[in-house]
Chains A and B, each alone.
Chain A
Amino acid sequence: MMPALEEVALHTPVVEVGGIGIALHTTSARFASMVEDRYAGFVTQDGAADLSFEVELFDPREREFENARRRGISLEELLEDSFAEPPDDLAVTCEHRIWRIHRGDFDAHWNPQTGRGHIRQTVNPYALDSVLRIVHSLVLAQQGAFLIHAASAIRNGRAFLFSGVSGAGKTTISRLAPPDATLLTDEISYVRKNVQKNGMKHRSANYRAHGTPFAGELARLGENCSAPLDTLYMLAQGPENRIDEIHPVEATQMLLRNILFFAHDADLVHRVFEAACRFVERVPVRRLTFRLDAAVWDLIG
């Protein structure tokens, strides 16, 4: 007698950032639950998606996870200790128009023409975080847009970016934000061209900043909303709060240093370079020097 086929439930949380939804098809209820928890506010179940990935999990520590679960230790707690420092051997390459994104804890393939891909990863939220950021950066590059190392917030209906390398003050200025500012992120900002659903450009502003679930030291997800982009501030620390103009060429170079792109693919680099140049031509880029107190927000918005 043939054994009955066991029905395997398929879970499909959709993580939508910047209006781009990525569906993650998985048979693991635990993984789906982790996605919902980690990206709360940016997740829908079985919603519309622009891109789609089959997620295959592997972990040699399955038994350890099961024992931890029986002892009441959460998966997050266990993984925090185990995966605090993800591997740094990231490689992003394009061959025959298929992107391959590989690191020690994940291996992903993505076809930009079909929008479909496959991720094989450990049960590790940092692995998925990295894949999502990289895929979004590839999608945005095709659109003349980008992810950037920057905090961002909305105030009085306009978005402001605060960019800089680690230690520049992104998280600090986020912490100092007044109650009337809506925080979009303290680490990775999402910049898209400001187009209407019919493809026509908005007249109000050339770009829009979107909230992201990619948190830095603040360890807090941004709000899932967006606003027209007013100014990009390059952060510096000093004895007084002030705003200074930056020459467009210097602004372009500073912007390029902070845009996230992971592959030295000629076409991709061209696109990112052009995106940065166009952005500087259309959006004010200024230096914001601040002395690490909340009074800096008197200058913003």
Chain B
Amino acid sequence: MSNVYIARSTAIASRVLAGETMVMSVTDSTFFTLNDVATAIWHAADGVTPLTEIVTQNVCPEFEITPQEAFTDAEEFVRELATHGILQVSDQPMPDQDSVAGAA
């Protein structure tokens, strides 16, 4: 999990409705509903914060789950969203996401 950076894609539409975060890919219209943990990871996905730090600082203390459990969930979540182009994943920081041509 070391040196993994995640960033929200620009090729998505998202909204919070009734306390839940909805995300839709503009590429293939895949629709996701994020639970609390996934929402915390999603909002922290700024491209420059390592995933390990997001998990240990944003997830574990907030949701009182073990780091091991949190890392497992985070990896699965990131993998699934990356498959649909909703999250971008890199082993290097991605500092300027607004200029990334992610839109369809």
Contact = CB atoms under 8 A, between A and B. Distances in A.
Co-assembled chains A and B: yes
A75 interface: no
A266 B22 contact: no
Given A256-B24, A256-B31, A270-B13, A265 B18 contact: no
Interface stretch (A64-72, A156-164, A216-224, A272-280): A272-280
Given A253-B31, A256-B31, A265 B104 contact: yes
Given A248-B17, A274-B15, A281-B17, A264 B22 contact: no
Interface residues of B, number: 16
A265 B29 CA distance: 10
B58 to A, nearest CB: 22
A4 interface: no
B103 A273 contact: no
A269 B17 contact: no
A247 interface: yes
Given A265-B104, A274-B13, A277-B17, A249 B33 contact: yes
A277 B15 contact: yes
A252 interface: yes
Given A249-B22, A249-B33, A264 B17 contact: no
Nearest to A264: B104
A277 B27 CA distance: 19
A299 B41 CA distance: 43
A252 B13 contact: no
Given A256-B29, A264-B29, A266-B11, A277 B22 contact: yes
Interface residues of A, number: 16
A280 B17 CA distance: 9
A248 B22 CA distance: 11
Contacts of B53: none
Given A264-B104, A277-B22, A249 B17 contact: yes
A269 B26 contact: yes
B91 interface: no
Contacts of A249: 17-18, 20, 22, 33
A249 B21 CA distance: 9
A253 B29 CA distance: 11
A256 B29 CA distance: 9
B22 A252 contact: yes
A140 to B, nearest CB: 17
Interface in B11-67: 11, 13, 15, 17-18, 20, 22, 24, 26-29, 31, 33
Interface of A: 247-249, 252-253, 256, 264-266, 269-270, 273-274, 277, 280-281
